[in-house]
Amino acid sequence: MRDKFQEILQAYGEFPDLPQAVDRIEIANLPIYGYGSMSFVLSLVEAALELTSGRVSAADIGLILELGKQMIQRPVVLLEGVEQAVRQLAQTHPLMLVTKGDLRHQRAKLKGSGLGEYFYSVEVVSDKTPAVYADILRRRQVRAGRFLMVGNSLRSDILPVLELGGWAVHVPYHITWSPEHVEMDCAGRERSFENEGMGEEMEEVRNIEETNEQ
């Protein structure tokens, strides 16, 4: 998506700071648009106007909007081991999906993934903060010490849960939005794991259950 956006703007000159400009504008727009694909597309349009000083044509704005539609309608492709890991965990533990973004798009992605049947609860939130996780756990009557979060973002999936006293498994992915890049805080490190891919979670769950029983 970003590569195609850059191709569109090539007709207007060289923009070496294009990635940084897009990130800056998208971050500034989060309080207004929130997270999600449409928020990203609107930020691309704003970036195009800013970088070209308003010279970008209506036709090219249309191309950017079309890229957004293609991104939203793109089929869901599961990473290796995800379906098997989720199916296996669902047989013995209640699973909850916590994701941030546009409600309609996130639910469509879940449906397209074929994994919806494995989750007893789906939470689409505006952001992933300790307060948001605490509210979810309170409503679901789950103690933080019995909650395990699996995700690829240290900032959104791992650190907020550790701060609450929960457990977390970090599964790094080679493509992660730059604002999500943070250093692993030492606090709560003993309640976190890092896996190269999906498939090792059952062992982590057993370790956590043994710890809680002690």
pLDDT given at position 136: 97
The domain total for the chain is 2
Q: Does one domain contain both 64 and 16? A: yes
Q: Does one domain contain both 99 and 131? A: yes
Q: Does one domain contain both 168 and 101? A: yes
Q: Does one domain contain both 10 and 114? A: no
For residue 203, what are the domain limits?
A: 82-213
Q: Does one domain contain both 61 and 159? A: no
Closest CA to 165 of 208, 109, 210, 118: 208
**Average pLDDT, whole number, for the chain?**
87
CB 82 within 8 Å of CB 95:
no
Tracing tokens 């992915």 back to the chain, one arrives at 173
Q: Does one domain contain both 106 and 153? A: yes
The CATH number given to whatever domain includes residue 115 is 3.40.50.1000
Q: Does one domain contain both 182 and 114? A: yes
Q: Does one domain contain both 67 and 96? A: no
pLDDT given at position 80: 83
Q: Does one domain contain both 148 and 184? A: yes
Distances (CA, A) of 66 to 45, 62, 83, 109, 185: 11, 6, 31, 19, 40
Q: Does one domain contain both 120 and 62? A: no
Task: Name the pTM for this structure.
Answer: 0.80
Q: Does one domain contain both 136 and 201? A: yes
pLDDT given at position 31: 87
pLDDT, tens digit (0-9, with 9 covering 90-100), for 53-105: 999 999 999 999 999 999 888 899 888 888 998 999 999 899 999 999 888 88
List of the chain residues with pLDDT < 50: 214
